[in-house]
A and B are shown apart, each in its own frame.
Chain A
């Protein structure tokens, strides 16, 4: 076998390892119910859940409980299927958290009732989409 072939095979082998690990390490988007099923099966892999913060009828965000030392908090989140879930996040409340239009939590269930987020991504009302023009100066 020529050296070129060995190198070629080596490259292909590394590429395959990369592809397999990428697929293996890739997370998935789940709903709270499928995430809970995963936990029941003993699968602790962190997953993504997309949803919104729970709001009262008046549109006020409810269910945020900040711990006394203010370095962690609980909140209520509703996923796309409408399931509400209590979520714990071991970080201070991100600024503007209550204004988020959409929240993505990355984490897993700790117990049957509690989802622990390792990371939170928020989509805030972006200034690029601002369509209201203030009436200042009329």
Chain B
């Protein structure tokens, strides 16, 4: 039965949220401009309308989740993003898999931030919430789903399946509800994908807060006061956005087979750029608070960071990236709306800033080279140039679209070697950044002149040169640009650690945010340099196969073919592929797919043998067991070194009806490196093409060869019972016992031969792993020989890529230290703001 109530509730809530956002915007406008006496009543009205908006926004989210949670596949959203087999935590991922759900997430975060702001501010509530309400109106319009004439506003997630697709079934039975949905993209079935999008969207949402304070400041002519309340929020936003980026990188590292954590994909660049600009903005805001310079720069950077977040959204969601990105969304017809949204705020911001530009206080005096303002300004400029270098090529598809919309032809494409292209710039910018963070911190905490600077820097300089010499020699860093990077990164770590200890000795931890974040930066640079610069593909093909055309032999084959059971050299390891495995509910580790026979029910299998892990029997032969996602295959690969067992990895592949094959890596984590492996091609033995018949006549006890397998025919045995076959009186059933050896692995195959009233029945034995099918073709009593008919297919195999990534843990450690630094800084700045507020000054 189709439940239309919940969809109507959601749709109604969306309309209510849209209208109440507009009402709240108007009310907050009035609240800000009316005389003091009328303010209380306008404030009450504004707040009520924003509360109504908040309730409606939550109702949208709850309705959509209810549809997914209760498997209401009559709705297009549930049908196309979830399925019955999905556990609850992945239903959460289904919620934001679609664009509409992502917008709802964004709306909800804005509501929460808005509610926090209403209750933590006094003077700023009016202008800030006006900006919030306007942004909300734009965001809600994305999911409105209202059609006026030819104009479609927003794409509603609450449309019914029968309205979304044109399937003949609906004309026969309009109340048809599919039994199951098409499921969640398997790449998103990962715990990091449950928490990465909300984090990233909180980062997106929170860039609005400093922007709203700035707009409010420009509007109410409080050109400088906005900095204090905006600063902790800008830091919060940068921290959350940074965390979101890192989670995305980590997710890519553990689930995607791109070979790394960062790929300079347009979607990644689109969030990296606003983050850089926001970080630059935080630095100039801090200088402004200390010495009344760089106010205009801060304004430009805060506006840019907010607009760039909208630009990122536009890039990712408008379909303009087309084939230049691996994971851009298809166009939902929202690109026009997104463009209007972005241009509206760009125009308003530029207009307000331009109108007030000459009133904005500036400091006339030229900053001295020995002032901290000077160095921070250079640092912010470097960050902005880094961002510019990334956003420019990322926007090539936009450029093409613009040229084409004016009737021109532009065939520009993004750089062919993205990693090389971005690295050659970002590397040197990072070196500059590392040096600036080191020097800048000394300027920050001390009054400097030329002599003092030399005295202060000489010790950290010597220490860091010695330290980097050790790193360079021990890490075998012999590339000049990498050597410079190591020196710069070590310098910032040493210099900032010095400051950190001085601060801890002298005062409290509250002031250490900056030095911690900069230490994190230094570690990140070293970690990235080692793990990416010195990542080494170790899976070279040493099979010795050569081709007729010699040029191919000169190419590096970066993958290695592993035949089942056959030891293969991968650098210092010997790897042996041991067959496909599954995860079974309640059983630790992996269970061989050989002993699991699918029953035809979802995620259910029959155990063909006892399921034993580490000496403990979890299931008996003949039990029905539950498989964790049956489409997942785990390929067990054992690694040996000098004949000694080292470890086992299980890279995964998943067959998905909609997405095809998907491969996920498995890594061996060492303290100083990761061995990262994934399966890049595999054998498809669902429907093997058996080769021509081969006939063997052998006597019991005799040994013969099937291909290169040593095979022993142990003998025939007359059996009285056969599973699945009822034997009648007078039937003769003979089971032949064959033992096949393959690299020390013994496989027993027992084909069966049945004689019934002069009729012959043959039940073949098949081993998929070896690609062998054996049938008893005949029994020759005269010579006491069995005639076997053998068909072969190829043995099971996987093609593996293995990459060594040194020192990747330094990178992860660096990101954590940087995030802690941000948290300390947020605490300090929020503390400052709330003290001022409580004094009634803000």
B658 partner residues in chain A, CB cutoff 8 A: 125, 127, 130
B560 partner, pick from A48, A71, A99, beta carbons under 8 A? A71
* List of A residues within 8 angstroms of B185 by Cβ: 127
Best-surrounded residue of A92, A119, A131 (most CB of chain B within 10 A): A92
Is the beta-carbon distance between B411 and A28 smaller than 8 angstroms? yes
Write the B511-549 contact mask toward A (1 if CB under 8 angstroms, else 0): 000000000000000000000000000000101010100
CB distance from A80 to the nearest CB of B (A): 11
> Cβ of A87 < 8 Å from any Cβ of B?
no
* 0 or 1 for each of B144-167: is its CB under 8 Å from A? (1 = yes): 000000000000000001000111
Give the contacts of A123-138 with B (CB-CB under 8 A): 123-138
A126 to B799 Cα, complex, angstroms: 26
Stretch at the interface among B9-17, B448-456, B551-559, B608-616: B551-559
- Which residues of chain B from 264 to 310 have any CB-CB distance to chain A below 8 Å in the complex? none
Please determine whether B178 and A70 come into contact, CB atoms closer than 8 angstroms.
no
A43 nearest CB across to chain B (Å): 13
Q: Given the complex, which residues of B lie within 8 Å of A62, measured CB to CB?
A: none
Q: Tell me, yes or no, whether B179 is within 8 Å of chain A by CB.
A: yes
Compute how far the CA of A50 lies from the CA of B541 in the bound complex, rounded to whole angstroms: 30
Q: Among B161, B165, B416, point to the contact of A27 (Cβ < 8 A).
A: B416
Give the contacts of A93-138 with B (CB-CB under 8 A): 93, 95-96, 99, 102, 104, 106-107, 110, 118-119, 121, 123-138
Given A19-B392, A91-B680, A124-B659, also A133-B161 (CB < 8 A): yes
Which one, A95, A106, A107, contacts B661 given CB within 8 A? A95
**Set of chain A residues within 8 Å of B543, measured between Cβ atoms:** 69
**What separation, in Å, do the CA atoms of A25 and B394 have in the docked complex?**
12
Interface string of A43-76 (1 = CB under 8 A from B): 0011110100000000000000001111110000
B323 touches A92 (CB 8 A): no
> How many angstroms from the CA of A131 to the CA of B658 in the assembled complex?
12
Beta-carbon contact of A133 and B165 below 8 Å: yes
CA distance A21 to B400 in the complex (A): 18
User: Which residue of chain B has its CB nearest to the CB of A71?
Assistant: B559
| Assembled-state Cα–Cα distance A14/B561 (Å) | 47
Are A71 and B561 closer than 8 Å at their CB atoms? Answer: yes
Q: Is the CB of B799 within 8 A of A71?
A: yes
Given the interface pairs A27-B413, A92-B680, the reply to whether A124 lies near B660 with Cβ below 8 Å is yes
Please, how many angstroms separate the alpha-carbon atoms of A13 and B573 in the complex?
50
| Known contacts A69-B545, A128-B330; A26 and B182 CB within 8 A of each other | no
**Distance A90 CA – B552 CA, assembled complex (angstroms):** 9
Stretch of B108-116, B335-343, B381-389, B756-764 at the chain-chain interface: B381-389
* Set of chain A residues within 8 Å of B167, measured between Cβ atoms: 131-133
**Chain B residues, Cβ within 8 Å of A67:** 545, 547, 552
Contact of A104 among B323, B385, B421 (CB under 8 A): B323
**List of A residues within 8 angstroms of B421 by Cβ:** 25
Q: In the complex, are the beta carbons of A26 and B393 less than 8 A apart? A: yes
B555 and A121 form a contact (CB under 8 A): no
Minimal Cβ-Cβ distance residue in B for A119: B416
Q: Contacts of B485 on A, CB cut-off 8 Å?
A: none
Residue of A nearest to B654 (CB): A95
Does the CB pair B545–A68 fall under 8 Å?
A: yes
Residue of A29, A68, A137 touching B411 (CB-CB under 8 A): A29
Contact of B413 among A47, A69, A118 (CB under 8 A): A47
Contact between A28 and B413, CB atoms less than 8 A apart: yes
Q: A4-B366, A68-B545, A93-B681 are in contact. Are A18 and B323 (CB under 8 A)?
A: no
B412 at the interface (CB under 8 A from A): yes
Q: In residues 632-677 of chain B, which contact A (Cβ within 8 Å)? A: 653, 658-663
Question: B348-383, CB under 8 A of A: which get 1 and which 0?
Answer: 000000000000000000110100000001100100
CB <8 Å contact, B179 and A29 = no
Per-residue A-contact encoding for B171-195, CB less than 8 Å = 1, 0 else: 0010011111010010000000000
How many chain A residues touch the partner (CB < 8 A)? 60
Collect the chain B residues with CB atoms within 8 Å of residue A27's CB: 412-416
Assess whether A41 is interfacial by the CB under 8 Å rule. Answer: no
Q: Does B473 contact A (CB under 8 A)?
A: no
In the complex, what residue of chain B is closest to A121 when comparing beta carbons?
A: B323
Complex CA gap A104/B558 in Å reads: 21
Q: Known contacts A71-B560, A129-B330; is A18 also within 8 Å of B179 by CB?
A: no
Distance from A40 Cβ to chain B, minimum over Cβ atoms (Å): 19
A77 to chain B, nearest CB (A): 14
Residues of A within 8 A of B551 (CB): 110
CB distance from B558 to the nearest CB of A (A): 7
Question: A71 to B559, alpha carbons, bound, how many Å?
Answer: 6
CB of A79, distance to nearest CB on chain B (Å): 13
B169→A135 contact, CB < 8 A: yes
With beta carbons under 8 angstroms apart, the residue of A3, A102, A130 that contacts B323 is A102
A15 touches B388 (CB 8 A): yes
Q: Which residues of B contact A22 (CB under 8 A)?
A: 389, 392-393, 415
CB closest chain-B residue, reference A18: B389
Known: A90-B555, A124-B660. A46 touches B385 (CB 8 A): no
CA gap between A30 and B410 in the complex, in Å = 11
Question: CA A50 – CA B400 in complex, angstroms?
Answer: 15
Closest to A90 in B: B555
Q: In this complex, what residue of A is CB-closest to B543?
A: A69
Q: Contact at B366–A92, with CB atoms within 8 Å?
A: no
- Nearest B residue (CB) for A132: B167
Q: Is the CB of B416 within 8 A of A50?
A: no
Bound-state CA distance A129–B164 (Å) is 11
Q: Which residues of A contact B785 (CB under 8 A)?
A: none
Q: Are A70 and B681 in contact (CB under 8 A)?
A: yes
Q: How far is the CB of B260 from chain A (nearest CB, A)?
A: 15
Once the chains bind, are A18 and B411 in contact (CB under 8 Å)? no
| Chain A residues with CB under 8 A of B561 | 69-71
CA distance A48 to B329 in the complex (A): 21
In the complex, which residues of chain A have a beta carbon less than 8 angstroms from the beta carbon of B123?
none
**Which residues of chain B have C-beta atoms less than 8 A from A127's C-beta?**
80, 182, 185, 658-659
A136-B602 Cα distance, complex, nearest whole Å: 14
Indicate the member of A48, A71, A106 with the most B CB atoms within 10 Å: A71
A11 and B385 contact, Cβ closer than 8 Å, known pairs A70-B797, A130-B80, A136-B180: yes
Binary per-residue interface labels of chain B (45-89) against chain A in the complex, 1 for a CB within 8 Å, 0 otherwise: 000000000000000000000000000000000011000000000
Residues of B with C-beta under 8 A to A99: 660
Name the B residues within 8 Å of A28 (CB-CB). Answer: 411-413
Determine if B323 and A123 form an interchain contact, defined as CB atoms under 8 angstroms apart: yes
Which chain A residues border B810 with CB–CB below 8 Å? none
**Looking at the complex, which one of B182, B369, B381, B663 makes contact with A95 (CB distance below 8 Å)?**
B663
* Complex Cα–Cα for A80 and B681 (A): 29
Chain B residues closer than 8 Å to A124, beta-carbon distance: 659-660
Contact between B660 and A126, CB atoms less than 8 A apart: no
Question: Does B326 have its Cβ within 8 Å of any Cβ on chain A?
Answer: yes
* Complex Cα–Cα for A14 and B166 (A): 54
CB-nearest residue of chain A to B549 = A114
Asked if B396 CB lies within 8 Å of chain A CBs, one says yes
For residue A104, give the distance in angstroms from its CB to the closest CB of chain B: 5
CA distance A119 to B324 in the complex (A): 12
Q: A2 and B366 in contact (CB under 8 A), knowing A70-B799, A104-B323?
A: yes
Among B176, B178, B393, B541, the residue within 8 A (CB) of A69 is B541
Contacts of A45 in B (CB 8 A): 416
Q: B509 on the interface (CB 8 Å rule)? A: no
B residues 15-45 in Cβ contact with A at 8 Å: none
Task: Give bound CA distance, A26 to B797, whole Å.
Answer: 39
In the assembled complex, the Cα of A85 lies from the Cα of B661 at a distance in Å of: 26
- State the 3 A-B residue pairs at the shortest beta-carbon distance, nearest first: A96-B660, A95-B661, A92-B681
22 CB < 8 A contacts A-B: A7-B381, A22-B393, A27-B412, A67-B552, A70-B797, A71-B558, A72-B552, A72-B555, A91-B680, A92-B681, A93-B681, A95-B681, A104-B323, A125-B658, A128-B80, A130-B80, A130-B182, A133-B165, A136-B180, A137-B177, A138-B173, A138-B176
Contacts A91-B559, A124-B659 known; 16 new A-B pairs at CB < 8 A: A19-B392, A22-B389, A22-B392, A28-B412, A29-B413, A70-B681, A70-B797, A71-B557, A90-B558, A91-B558, A92-B559, A121-B326, A129-B330, A131-B166, A132-B167, A133-B161
